[in-house]
Amino acid sequence: MASVLTLKNVTKRFGGLTAVGDVSFSIREGEIYGLIGPNGAGKTTIFNLITGVYTLTEGEIVYGDDDAGDGPTAVKPAVTLAVADPYGTGFVADIKRRFIFRPKKPSDIANLGITRTFQNIRLFKKLTVYQNVLTACHKSATYGLMSSFLPKKVPYTNIVFPWFREQYAEEVGINIKTENLLKMMGLWEYRDMQAANLPYGLQRKLEIARALALDPKLLLLDEPAAGMNPEETLALVDLVKEIRDKFRLTVLIIEHHMDLVMNLCDRIYVLNFGKFLAEGYPADIQNNPEVIEAYLGKEETDA
């Protein structure tokens, strides 16, 4: 199965602190991966490196696979998202590989098909629920800023100007897409509510809906169950699986709710103190003594 994302010896240092140290792993298309570890393990730092929020100290991040098949979910050709820039020059030149690279911006990475949610929710708080998703859906619009201000219909009629028919149809499609996403996430009845007034758990769902509006191939979810009660957390398992199947996505999820991780993920990667600790299927991780020790601590023995 083709790889969607590959991290190669990824390291991130903040001064003398190594937040992520020499981490390597690969994510295959169509699966749901968990990224877990105690607080401070470097999980969100990994997300920030993938999405261009942070620059690499060492290593390389590659999106896609040159050997991917021709299926509808294949990410091909491979694109380098980030390469270490040790001298802070703003670009990396590798003469042997005939390779000159400038770091990708977060907007570039989103356009390539990687979207995310955040540990600390980042919504347009003063916009309505509907407007939050509609704004993201406009990424796929093909018309320009000026034409968006011009009337599409003849005043007081339902007649569309011929030269605006295509744009009008596009706007109708964007509104239908917004409606469908809100209904799928169980947010349609809250569509006119200001995002800041939503309960915390529903704000999490709105952030997922907005990320989906950008048509990703790889969806990064940072603690999506935070603030949800046990029933909502269990429902989220089914929802993420539905999202994966319906949108033909690959998902990488950071989560502290172990019930959700074990019931949701196909494979799990574990970090501890910024280092790669373990990988495997949920049952393997659940019984891994090193993982248990990282979470619960090592039992002291009498001398």
User: Structural domain boundaries of the chain?
Assistant: 1-113+216-303, 123-214
Pseudo-torsion of CA 248, 250, 256, 259, nearest 10°?
50
Q: Is the CB of residue 88 less than 8 Å from the CB of residue 57? A: no
Residue of 196, 78, 187 whose CA lies nearest to 130: 187
Per the document, the length of the chain is 303
State residue 303's pLDDT score. 47
**Helix extents (H) in the chain:** 43-50, 106-112, 129-137, 145-149, 165-184, 200-212, 230-247, 258-264, 282-286, 289-296
Note the helical H segments in 3-74. 43-50
164, β-bridge pairs: none
Q: State the residue for tokens 């040159």.
A: 66
List beta partners, residue 219.
115, 251
The class that CATH gives domain 1-113+216-303 is alpha beta
User: pLDDT per residue over 158-188, tens digit each?
Assistant: 666 665 666 667 777 888 999 999 999 999 9
Distance CA(233)–CA(286), nearest Å, equals: 19
Q: Tell whether omega for the bond before 77 is within 30 degrees of 0, i.e. cis.
A: yes
Closest CA to 129 of 176, 198, 186: 198
The confidence score (pLDDT) of residue 79 equals 85
Angstrom distance (rounded) from CA 142 to CA 135: 14
d(CA 293, CA 278): 12
Token couple for 285: 């991780």
Mean pLDDT by 10 residues, the chain (303 residues): 89 91 93 93 94 91 76 68 71 59 83 92 93 87 60 63 64 88 95 94 93 94 88 90 94 92 94 92 91 73 50
Cβ neighbors of 37 (< 8 A, separation 6 or more) are 43, 270, 271, 272, 277, 294
For the beta carbon of residue 256, count every other beta carbon within 10 angstroms: 15
Tokens of 4: 């969607």
Q: Can you give the pLDDT at residue 207?
A: 95
Nearest residue to 211 (alpha-carbon basis) of 135, 147, 264, 302? 135
For the 123-214 domain, the top CATH level (class) is alpha beta
